[in-house]
Amino acid sequence: MNLEKKVEKLRRSIERHNRLYYVDDAPEITDAEYDALFRELQALEAEHPELRSADSPTQRVGGAPLAQFAEVRHRTPMLSIGNAFDEEEVRAFDKRMREALGVEEIEYAAEPKFDGLAVSLTYRGGVFVQAATRGDGTTGEEVTANLRTVHSVPLSIKDENLEVRGEVLMYRRDFDALNERQRAAGQKEYVNPRNAAAGAVRQLDSRITASRRLRFFAYALISEAGVQTHSQALDRLEELGFPVCAERGVVHGAEGLLEYYARIGAVRANLPYAIDGVVYKVNRLDWQERLGYVSRAPRFALAHKYPAEEQTTEVLGIEVQVGRTGALTPVARLKPVFVGGVTVTNATLHNESELRRKDVRIGDTVVVRRAGDVIPEVVSVRTELRPAGVPLFQFPEKCPVCGSAVVKNEDEAVHRCSGGLYCPAQRKQALLHFAGRRALNIEGLGERLVDQLVDKGLVKTPADLYRLSADELEALERMGKKSAANLVSEFDKSKGTTLERLIYALGIRNVGETTARDLARHFGDLEPLVGASEEALLQVPDVGPVVARSIRQFFEEPHNAQVIRDLVKAGLEWPKVTPLARPATPVKSFVLTGTLSKMTRDEAKATLEAKGHKVAGSVSKKTDFVVAGEDAGTKLEKARALGVTILQEKEFLEMLQNL
């Protein structure tokens, strides 16, 4: 294969994988494999500049900043569309169309109305040559260099001259990741995906645009012969390689329009991108020509908007809720406001850091957002409307549910109730964890049964489980005599446990199975662990300041100490542990991710631990090896980012023989 053909094959392969990832959302290769292909193409083009071309995938990385944008005059104006907000307006629109055309029923093309930035793309001889924003509808800004960095924009198509119009937007998940990076860098967050996408497209430095995961969806084909309907034009765009909304449809009459509106509204919150309505267009293009335009909008189209997802209201109060894991969440009590199709009276403030960052106070006027079934949140504060002398909100020092001490560690954004075994808000979670397979292993004590035991007031702490009689259990729903007797037997069996299982069952924050085992081996019994200082805890292998502090906070809470005493009174017992001698060979830290074919992850973990090595649940700079099986996830990505050695299953099995 000569060099020119090799370069062309690489380009086709990379663009195919771009489409699979950014358009079809069905990647076939890993990021590392894609990066290898891309680097190979970059190297070949660097060595042979004569082979570079404008439609090469390497031209998507962005170039030197521009001084300003040039103006582009649209050959066909990019007009706005009239809006409708209720059923009557939609029916009136359909009636106008039927009367103007003199027909009984009209076929419409219907599609979601993207909440992004409208742009126009021009192709000459099949090559992408220009991109422009909508601007004022007549004149826009040239953003060609920026749109080249958007991977879902084809850099070349079949040998045709086309103008394609569409929307640049940002997926919700990419928007959330962007704001997470902004927060980590101490920079201002973006309000919504539309603002983030619009800001990225209008960057003078296209390298910044390239760093944002923007998407393009085509919604119009200008000056294309051979298509008679708008839906055919969209199909043609899809054939040419442009991403087109999969949720589009063809409907008939007003009833079809309203049914489509309801159907898209039902899935709106689950779409990967934000929409603020749906768009209806008379499907036949010759009928569109006959209907024409009024003012600056087409007569043949209508945007049917959904209820606003953001509204302004007043903060009447701030309360603190305690979650199943003990996390304290501040919640704004709001003056009722209709937003996102429902009346909203509460909105989450997430945690103290977010509350302070947004500076929300009682009496403030705030912007509230709601999308579908998502919990409403406060987006921003209108500080210019704040009453004089409004104080900062102070977090409680005691849990508002159980009165246990509230703690907040430096490494966390949230406050937590320290009464994990006692707090009613955490009760169900604590019981399920206590009874789990890797803890006390009480078979038959599942979620439905725990719900009944707590809701009926029969169980308040894990110690209460051992006071339950077969008669009490038999009276519960779906509990027969035999099931009740079996569960009592399970309670009795669980009284004989091991120290490491008991420590894990207590549900101490940051103490997993491995740490529980290390604590058991180091202290030998529960009493010395309960009384250990942070300094003593730090002597345990791999117990750092965060874990030591969590353990100390747990045992210092009187409510937890009382539950432990009650467990001992109920008959729980365990053999003391003789501390193991440290292995002569250095201890290595492993993290397992994905599915192994030769053994389960539990078997791999047990084998490593039997050889004296550590198996952690998360990847850190201290991790020596990450074992990657099939379908490995975020742990593998983090290992790559931190430069941790990654072992495929074959390499891992070979290493096991020598450990």
Residue 241 has pLDDT above 80, yes or no: yes
Residue 62 pLDDT: 47
Tell whether the model's pLDDT for residue 1 goes beyond 80: no
Torsion angle of C-alpha atoms 410, 416, 421, 426, degrees rounded to 10: -140
Q: Is 589 left (phi over 0), alpha (psi -120 to 50) or beta?
A: beta
Max avg pLDDT among 370-374, 408-412, 562-566 = 562-566
pLDDT at 225 (0 to 100) = 66
Provide the CB-side half-sphere exposure for 321 (13 A, CA): 13
**Residue 25 pLDDT exceeds 90:** no
Known catalytic residues are 113
Lowest mean pLDDT among 346-355, 556-565, 632-641: 632-641
If pLDDT is split at 50, 70 and 90, which confidence band does 263 have? very high
Grade residue 606 by pLDDT with cuts at 50, 70 and 90: confident
- Average pLDDT value for residue range 327-342: 87
pLDDT at 554 over 80: yes
pLDDT at 77 over 90: no
Q: Helices 545-556 and 558-569 sit at what angle, rounded to 10 degrees?
A: 70
For residue 63, pLDDT over 70 is answered with no
Percent of the chain with pLDDT over 90: 51
Name all domains of the chain by residue range, CATH numbers in brackets. Answer: 3-60 (1.10.287.610), 83-305 (3.30.470.30), 310-385 (2.40.50.140), 396-580 (1.10.150.20), 589-658 (3.40.50.10190)
* Residue 24 pLDDT: 61
Span of 185-199, 387-401, 435-449 with lowest mean pLDDT:
185-199
Q: Are 538 and 514 in contact (CB under 8 A)?
A: no
pLDDT bucket at 131, cuts 50 / 70 / 90: very high
What is the mean predicted confidence (pLDDT) over 335-360?
Answer: 86
User: How high is the pLDDT of residue 634?
Assistant: 78
What is the reported pLDDT for 350?
86
pLDDT single digits (tens) 174-212: 988 888 888 777 777 777 788 888 888 888 888 888 888
Residue among 378, 383, 367 at smallest CA distance from 332: 378
Instruction: Specify the pTM.
Output: 0.50
pLDDT band with cut points at 50, 70 and 90 for residue 164: very high
pLDDT tens column, 96-111:
999 999 999 999 999 9
Burial environment of residue 259 by CB neighbours within 10 A (0 to 12, 13 to 18, 19 or more):
middle
pLDDT at residue 402, rounded to an integer: 94
Give me the pLDDT at residue 444, please: 92
